[in-house]
C-alpha cells in the first residue's frame, strides 16, 4: 500500500464538490483513504490525524491525501474528475462565475458582481466559511440584493447587524444557516421539487419547511415561495427581524393565499411581537411550531384551511426483527427540527395527542419548550424512556465537513453502533442539493444495522430527482419501516413493542 499527499496552490472548488470527488476516489478498488479538500486548518489537522504529513498550505489551496494499492491511478482519476468539472463550467455559457454573456476578468467582490449583473441580479447566495460571511453579505445588501446565507458559524451579533442593515435597504436576509429557500418556484440550497400553488412559507427551519411543503405537494397543493430566515431569527437576540419582513413580503404577493410559519419554539416576547404582525396581515397564517404540535398536523391544518381533503400519508411498515426494549429509540437525524419533533414525540406516552388545534393566524410562544426535547434536537432527549436523539446537522458535526444530507459517513457509523434491543429512527431528505441517491449508501447500512427495528422518515416529493418511491422501496427491501410523515415515523418507533 502506498500513499501521497500534495497541495495544489490556488486551486479552489466548493466543499460539496470536493466531498463528492473524495467519495468517488474512495470507491476505487484498493483505496483506503481519499481526502480531497481545501487546505483549511481543520482539514490539514484531519490529514495529520489520518497519518499524512501535509506540506505548508493555506485555505486557498487544494489538499489531496491518498492511501491505497494504486495511488497513481487515483491521482489520474482525480485529474479526470477535476478536468470534467472545469469543462462543465466552461461549457455552461457563463464566462464569469455565472454571469451569462459577461466578458473580461471575473468580478472579485460581491458588489462588483452585482454591478455587472445590473437589473438581472435579485438574490445573492452566500456559501463561504462563517467567519468570512459579513463583508460579502454587506456588499450584497448595500447593492440592493436579497441575500440567502447558506453558511453556518456566523456570530449572532453579525446576523443582527446584517438584518438591521437589510431593513434600511428594503431587502431580505435569509439566514445565516439557511439551508432551504424557494423563490417563485426556483429552489435554492436543499430544495424539493414542488408543484406551483398558492402557499407561501416563512421558515426558521429548513428541514421543517421541507417536511411541510413535501406533504402539501403529496396532497396536491402547490407552493409559491419558501423564505428561510435562519434558525436563530425568532430568538430573543435577533427578534424576528427577517420573519417579520418575510411575512409582509408574502402578504403583499397577490398570488399567495395562505402563509405557513415554520419554527422551533420561539422566544415568548418575540412570538408576541410576531403575532401582532400576523394579526395585521390580510393573508391568513398557519403556525407550524415543533414542541406545541407536529409538522404533519400543521400540514393537515393548511389543507383544511384551503378546503383540500387530508389524504392517508403513504407508509410502508415492516415487522420488527426482534422485540425491542420499551422506549429504546435512537434517533440519528440530519434535520434539526425533525430531530426535535421526533424527540418530543418519543418523550410523550404512547398514543399521546400532540395537535394543538390552533386556528390559522394564532400562535404564541407561551407553550415553547413544553415538551421534553422540543427545544434542542441534539444530544439526549429528556423524558421517561425517550431514548437518545442526535442532530448530525448541528454545527458541532458540520464544521469542516459536508452536511449529513450530502455526506452520510457519520450516520453510517452511528447505525452500525445501535444496540440490538434498540429502535433506530432516522430521516432521509430528498431534493436538489441533497445526496443524489441516499439509499445507495444508507440502505445497505440499514440492512446490516443490529437494531431490533429501523424506521425511516422519508421527506420528499414524487418530483424529486432521487425518486420518492424508488427510495422507499430500497429502504423497505433493506428491512426498514418507511413513512413520509416524520411524526408518524416517530410514533411508530416509540410504540414498537
Please name which of 256, 261, 263 lies closest in space to residue 223, comparing C-alpha atoms: 256
Give the residue with greater pLDDT, 261 vs 359. Answer: 261
Q: What is the mean pLDDT of residues 194-223?
A: 97
Q: Return the C-alpha torsion angle 65, 68, 70, 76, nearest 10.
A: -30
The model's pTM is 0.83
Residue 330's pLDDT band, with cuts at 50, 70 and 90, is: very high
Q: Assess whether pLDDT exceeds 50 at residue 358.
A: no
Q: Which pLDDT does position 111 carry in this prediction?
A: 80
Q: What is the pLDDT of residue 380?
A: 38
Per the CB < 8 A criterion, the answer to whether 375 and 291 are in contact is yes
Order of strands, edge to edge, in the sheet holding 123-126?
A: 123-126, 146-149, 173-174
Residue 81 phi, psi (nearest 5): -65, -45
What is the band of 24 on the pLDDT scale with cuts at 50, 70, 90?
confident
Each residue's pLDDT tens digit, 114-133? 888 877 778 999 988 788 89
Q: Quick one: pLDDT at residue 363?
A: 52
Q: Which of 196, 39, 190, 59 is nearest to 125 (CA)?
A: 190
Average pLDDT value for the chain: 86
Quote the CA–CA distance of 329 and 55 in Å, as a whole number.
Answer: 45
Determine which helix (DSSP H) or strand (DSSP E) holds 388, and give its type and residue range.
Answer: strand 388-391
pLDDT score recorded for residue 360: 42
pLDDT of residue 104: 63
Q: Report the relative pairing of strands 186-189 and 223-228 from DSSP bridges.
A: unpaired
H or E segment at 148? strand 146-149
> What's residue 357's pLDDT?
34
Q: Is the C-alpha dihedral spanning 342, 401, 82, 136 positive or negative?
A: positive
Residue carrying C-alpha cell 453579505: 137
Tell me how far the alpha carbon of residue 176 is from its chain's centroid. Answer: 12
On whether the 2-90 domain is CATH 3.30.70, my answer is: yes
- The answer on pLDDT for 160 being more than 60 is yes
Q: Where are the alpha helices (DSSP H) in 222-281?
A: 241-252, 268-280
Cell 500513499 found at: 3
Percent of the chain topping pLDDT 90: 60
- Going through 175-257 in order, the beta strands assigned E by DSSP cover 180-183, 186-189, 199-203, 223-228
Whether residue 52 is predicted with pLDDT greater than 90 in this model: the reply is: yes
d(C-alpha 471, C-alpha 404), whole Å? 17
Q: Where are the alpha helices (DSSP H) in 253-375?
A: 268-280, 295-305, 336-347
Residue 320 confidence (pLDDT) above 80: yes
Sign, CA dihedral 23-27-33-34, equals negative
Sheet of strand 223-228: strand arrangement: 186-189, 180-183, 223-228, 199-203, 258-263, 285-289
pLDDT of 253 above 70: yes
Same fold: 112-305 with 315-495: yes
Homologous superfamily assigned to 315-495 = Succinyl-CoA synthetase domains (3.40.50.261)
CA nearest 195: which of 180, 215, 176? Answer: 215
More reliable by pLDDT, 8 or 358:
8
**429 contacts 460 by C-beta, under 8 angstroms:** yes
What integer pLDDT is reported at residue 327 of this predicted model?
Answer: 75
Q: Where are the domains of the chain?
A: 2-90, 112-305, 315-495
Distances (CA, A) of 369 to 5, 109, 232, 393: 49, 42, 15, 21
pLDDT of residue 89: 53
Residue range 327-342: average pLDDT? 92
Which CATH code of 3.30.43.10, 3.40.50.261, 2.60.120.10, 3.40.50.300 fits the domain covering 112-305?
3.40.50.261
**CA 373 from centre of chain:** 20
Summarised one tens digit per residue, pLDDT across range 129-148 is 788 899 999 999 999 999 99
- pLDDT tens string 460-482: 999 999 999 999 999 999 999 99
**Cα gap 394→31, rounded to integer Å:** 30
Q: How wide is the angle at C-alpha 134 spanned by C-alphas 146 and 272, nearest 5°?
A: 65
Q: What is the mean pLDDT of residues 303-331?
A: 93
What's the confidence (pLDDT) of residue 240?
A: 97
pLDDT higher at 177 or 1? 177
> What is the side-by-side strand order in the sheet with 31-38?
2-8, 62-68, 31-38
365-414 residue pLDDT tens: 433 333 333 333 344 333 334 579 999 988 777 766 678 888 888 899 99
What average pLDDT does the segment 310-339 reach? 92
> Is 100 a residue whose pLDDT tops 60?
no
Strands, sheet with 388-391, edge to edge from the N-terminal-most edge strand: 315-316, 481-483, 453-459, 423-429, 329-333, 388-391
Tens of pLDDT, residue by residue over 174-202, are 999 999 999 998 999 999 999 999 999 99
pLDDT for position 118 = 77
Sort 353 into a burial class: Cβ within 10 Å, 0-12 / 13-18 / 19+.
exposed
CA-based nearest residue to 96, from 123, 116, 124, 118: 116
Amino acid at each position: 500500500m502506498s500513499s501521497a499527499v500534495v497541495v495544489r496552490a490556488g486551486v479552489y472548488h466548493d466543499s460539496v464538490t470536493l466531498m463528492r470527488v473524495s467519495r468517488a476516489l474512495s470507491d476505487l478498488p484498493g483505496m483506503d483513504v481519499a481526502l480531497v479538500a481545501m487546505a483549511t486548518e481543520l482539514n490539514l489537522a484531519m490529514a495529520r490525524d489520518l497519518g499524512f504529513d501535509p506540506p505548508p498550505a493555506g485555505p486557498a489551496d487544494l489538499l489531496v491525501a491518498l492511501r491505497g494499492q494504486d495511488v497513481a491511478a487515483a491521482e489520474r482519476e482525480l485529474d479526470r474528475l477535476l478536468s470534467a468539472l472545469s469543462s462543465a463550467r466552461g461549457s455552461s455559457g457563463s464566462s464569469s462565475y455565472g454571469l451569462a454573456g459577461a466578458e473580461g476578468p471575473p468580478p472579485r467582490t460581491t458588489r462588483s458582481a452585482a454591478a455587472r449583473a445590473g437589473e438581472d441580479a435579485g438574490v445573492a447566495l452566500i456559501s463561504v466559511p462563517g467567519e468570512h460571511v459579513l463583508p460579502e453579505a454587506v456588499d450584497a445588501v448595500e447593492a440592493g440584493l436579497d441575500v440567502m446565507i447558506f453558511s453556518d458559524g456566523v456570530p449572532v451579533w453579525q446576523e443582527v447587524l446584517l438584518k438591521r442593515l437589510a431593513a434600511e435597504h428594503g431587502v431580505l436576509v435569509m439566514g445565516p444557516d439557511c439551508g432551504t429557500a424557494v423563490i417563485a418556484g426556483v429552489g435554492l440550497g436543499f430544495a424539493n421539487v414542488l408543484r406551483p400553488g398558492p402557499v407561501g412559507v416563512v421558515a426558521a427551519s429548513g428541514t421543517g419547511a421541507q417536511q411541510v411543503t413535501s406533504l402539501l405537494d403529496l396532497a396536491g397543493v402547490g407552493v409559491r415561495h419558501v423564505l428561510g430566515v435562519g434558525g436563530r431569527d425568532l430568538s430573543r437576540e435577533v427578534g424576528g427581524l427577517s420573519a417579520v419582513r418575510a411575512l409582509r413580503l408574502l402578504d403583499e404577493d397577490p398570488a399567495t393565499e395562505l402563509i405557513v410559519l415554520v419554527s422551533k419554539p420561539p422566544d415568548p416576547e418575540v412570538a408576541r411581537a410576531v403575532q401582532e404582525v400576523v394579526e395585521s396581515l390580510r393573508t391568513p397564517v398557519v403556525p407550524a411550531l415543533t414542541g406545541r404540535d407536529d409538522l404533519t398536523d400543521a400540514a393537515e391544518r393548511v389543507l383544511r384551511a384551503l378546503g383540500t381533503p387530508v389524504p392517508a400519508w403513504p407508509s410502508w411498515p415492516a415487522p420488527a426483527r426482534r422485540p425491542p426494549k420499551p422506549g429504546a429509540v435512537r434517533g440519528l437525524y440530519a434535520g434539526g427540527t425533525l430531530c426535535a419533533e421526533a424527540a418530543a414525540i418519543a418523550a410523550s406516552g404512547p398514543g399521546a395527542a400532540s395537535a394543538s388545534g390552533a386556528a390559522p393566524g394564532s400562535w404564541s410562544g407561551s407553550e415553547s419548550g413544553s415538551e421534553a426535547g422540543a427545544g434542542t434536537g441534539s444530544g439526549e432527549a429528556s423524558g421517561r424512556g425517550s431514548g437518545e436523539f442526535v442532530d448530525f446537522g448541528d454545527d458541532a458535526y458540520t464544521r469542516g465537513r459536508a452536511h449529513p444530507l450530502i455526506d452520510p459517513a457519520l450516520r453510517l457509523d452511528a447505525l452500525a453502533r445501535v444496540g440490538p434491543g434498540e429502535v433506530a429512527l432516522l430521516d432521509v431528505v430528498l431534493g436538489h442539493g441533497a445526496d443524489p441517491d441516499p439509499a445507495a449508501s444508507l440502505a445497505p447500512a440499514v440492512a446490516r444495522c443490529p437494531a431490533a427495528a429501523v424506521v425511516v422518515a422519508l421527506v420528499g416529493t414524487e418530483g424529486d430527482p432521487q425518486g420518492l418511491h424508488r427510495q422507499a422501496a430500497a429502504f423497505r427491501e433493506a428491512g426498514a419501516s418507511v413513512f413520509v410523515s416524520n411524526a408518524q415515523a416517530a410514533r411508530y418507533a416509540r410504540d414498537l413493542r
